[in-house]
Amino acid sequence: MESSLNAHAERLPQQWAASMHAVATTNGTGWLPSLRAAAARELLKNGLPGNKDEAWKYTSLRRLEQLREIDGKPTVASATADAQDWNTPLAEFEGYGFGFRCGSLHWLEQAAPEGVILSTFRDAVTGLMDDGHERLRRMLEAVDFSGRSRAFAALNTALLDQGVVIHVAAGVDGGTCLAQWAQADGRISRLANFRLIVLLEEGARLNLLEQHLSMQGQVAVEPPSSSDAQGLNLVMQADLGKNAQLHHFRVQQDADNSVLLTFSDVYQAADSTYTYAGIDIGGGLVRHDLYCRLAGPGARAELNGAFVLDGERLVDHHICVDHEAPACSSEQFFRGVLGGSSRGVFNGKALIRPGADGSRVRQSNANLLLSDLAEMDTKPELEIYADEVEASHGATVGQLDEQAVFYLRSRGLAKADARRMLTTAFCRAVSSRISDLALGEQIAGLLDAAVSGLNIVEENSNAA
């Protein structure tokens, strides 16, 4: 069965060829169509990854069968879903920014603060950002789309037309920029492509809050429907200048018939800071690739994530933090709770190159299985070629501590309540690491609600 799915996935790029050619030959300067065409050729040559590709061997792409159409061009907003139809649990957090709903880009009403420029990708690439044009070109050309494992970066580049560029001037606090993604559209089953680029000059600061939304009533675990299946292939590139700070939050609660593929590529100059907190409580097939390049001395990356899965959901995290310069630090802290027939994947790597002395690395991935049918594959990696390095890593996959459950039951709690309390505390280990206390509490509430929807007393529990 899997081999036939892989064969079908290799045929999909051929079905997408006409769309890629249409985008590659329009809307751009001389170098941009060439970049698109090169990416399209790479994708058509290699096809999509399958179970024989190490980085994708646990992640079946069978849901892509429902998404044979691709889209990288701006479209008219769908009339099938008004703003009030979407689940927006973090709506009380104000900020400027944009929404990408049903293939259409919208600017939010609040204006960006002085020193912050938001522009469409088309405007930015034609020089709206003054002397930033060549910098933007270098960033786009730096994306690695070679080989099967990078197929979706190649697809995104081949369709590079729809996107947003956020530019924060030197020394400016850009406040909170909101990015709202909502892909449901009852008419077309498609894979949308979007490029988000963040440029922070020296000493700049930005909070980027992403919300991946579903329509009301779609979060519940349901069999995928090919009639309204939706997907988003999102590439985010961030260039952090010296002493810049980017605090990136991603809350994903897509419908269970959706596909979300993200690739985040973060370049960090000296003494810059990148913090990431990703929460996954929905989606059918979700894949997050995250690459941080610590290129300047003293750069710091802190990556946190939590996912609560049920039904047949799959969430895959593939992370690499590349320590190029000395005295850099990175931490990866991820927690997973899996019920039903769900599957989780975590591959977290820290690469410490020669000369990156004084690097500090910590990795932790712990997971709870609440069902005999749930699966978790975890692989923390350390690759060290430098001296005087502090490094630690660990991973666990198991069930709840039944002694702790027994203790709580001895204090009068029902079995399900005791297990639920321990599970929510396990997830809150991630939300408690968010420095914005109000946001951390909101995210903790989302995790609590997701845990409450799980069958906490599962077959693998031996408690009386």
> What one-letter code names the amino acid at 178?
L
Instruction: Please give the Cα distance from 336 to 288 (Å, whole number).
Output: 14
Judged against a pLDDT cut of 80, whether residue 328 lies above it is answered with yes
Question: Is residue 199 in a domain?
Answer: yes
For the cut 60, the answer to whether the pLDDT of residue 166 exceeds it is: yes
Provide, for the chain, the percentages of residues in helix, strand and coil under a 3-state DSSP scheme, each rounded to the nearest 5. 25, 35, 35
- Tell me if 367 is assigned to some domain: no
* Mean predicted confidence (pLDDT) in 455-461: 53
Name the phi and psi angles at 148, rounded to 5: -65, -35
Half-sphere exposure of 380 (CA within 13 A, CB side): 17
Question: How confident is residue 411, by pLDDT bands cut at 50, 70 and 90?
Answer: low
pLDDT tens digits for range 71-102: 655 443 433 344 445 566 676 678 899 999 87
Would you place residue 396 in the very low, low, confident or very high pLDDT band (cuts 50, 70, 90)?
confident
In the three-class reduction of DSSP (H, G, I as helix; E, B as strand; rest coil), residue 230 is classed as strand
d(CA 410, CA 425): 19
Sheet holding 273-280, edge to edge: 104-107, 96-101, 173-182, 205-213, 245-252, 273-280, 300-309, 329-338, 360-369, 390-398
- Range with lowest mean pLDDT among 111-125, 178-192, 383-397: 178-192
Cα distance between residue 260 and residue 253, in whole Å:
10
**pLDDT tier, 52 (very low <50, low <70, confident <90, very high otherwise):** confident
The residue with greater pLDDT, 400 or 233, is 233
pLDDT at residue number 410: 64
3-state secondary structure 261-272: EEEEEEEECCCC
Please, are residues 264 and 236 in contact by the beta-carbon 8 Å criterion?
yes
The neighbour count for residue 358, using CB atoms within 10 Å, is 18
Least confident of 217-221, 268-272, 285-289: 217-221
| Residues 101-150: tens digit of each pLDDT | 877 899 998 999 999 999 999 888 876 555 567 788 899 999 999 999 99
Residue 344 lies in a domain: no
pLDDT at residue 462 in the model: 44
Residue 38 lies in a domain: yes
DSSP state of 228: S
* 388 or 220, higher pLDDT: 388
317 burial (CB, 10 Å; 0-12 / 13-18 / 19+) is buried
User: Is residue 49 over pLDDT 50?
Assistant: yes
| pLDDT tens, position by position, 21-38 | 777 666 666 788 899 999
How far, in Å, CA of 267 to CA of 143, rounded? 11
Give me the half-sphere count of Cα atoms (radius 13 Å) on the Cβ side of residue 315: 25
Q: Residues 209-228: what's their mean pLDDT?
A: 59
Pick 4 or 168 by higher pLDDT.
Answer: 168
136-150, 202-216, 310-324: segment of lowest average pLDDT: 202-216
Is residue 434 assigned to a domain? no
**The dihedral formed by the CA atoms of 144, 145, 146 and 148, expressed in degrees to the nearest 10:** 130
Lowest mean pLDDT among 190-194, 229-233, 420-424: 420-424
65 secondary structure, DSSP code: G
Identify whether 210 is part of a domain: yes
Output the pTM of the full model.
0.90
Nearest to 58 by CA among 242, 285, 361, 221: 285
- Mean pLDDT value of segment 243-268: 94
The boundaries of the domain holding residue 169 are 2-295
Sign of torsion, CA 398 402 408 414? positive
Q: What is the pLDDT of residue 88?
A: 66
Residues in the chain: 464
Q: How confident is the model at residue 183 (pLDDT cuts 50, 70, 90)?
A: confident
Question: What does the block give as tokens for 140?
Answer: 């786009």
Q: Is residue 191 part of a domain?
A: yes
Of the listed ranges 139-143, 167-171, 244-248, 253-257, the least confidently predicted one is: 253-257
Q: Is residue 343 part of a domain?
A: no
CA-CA distance, 174 to 167, in Å (whole number)?
A: 9
Summarize the confidence of residues 427-443 as an average pLDDT: 91
pLDDT at res. 321: 98
User: Looking at the DSSP assignment, which residues form a beta bridge with residue 368?
Assistant: 337, 398
* pLDDT score of 1: 47
15: number of Cβ within 10 Å: 12
What was the pLDDT predicted at 434? 92
Given CA atoms 288, 294, 295, 300 in this order, what sign does their dihedral have?
positive
Task: Output the CA–CA distances (angstroms, integers) from residue 428 to 69, 258, 294, 408, 438, in the order listed.
Answer: 39, 26, 28, 18, 14
Residue of higher predicted confidence among 337 and 423: 337
pLDDT at 179: 94
How close are the terminal C-alpha atoms of the chain, in Å? 40
Total domain count, the chain: 1
CA–CA dist 378, 395 (Å, integer): 7
* pLDDT for 163 beyond 80: yes
Looking only at the bridges linking them, the beta strands covering 104-107 and 96-101 are antiparallel
What value does the mean pLDDT of the chain take? 84
Confidence of residue 226 (pLDDT cuts 50, 70, 90): very low
pLDDT at 61: 86
Residues 311, 288: Cα–Cα separation, whole Å: 19
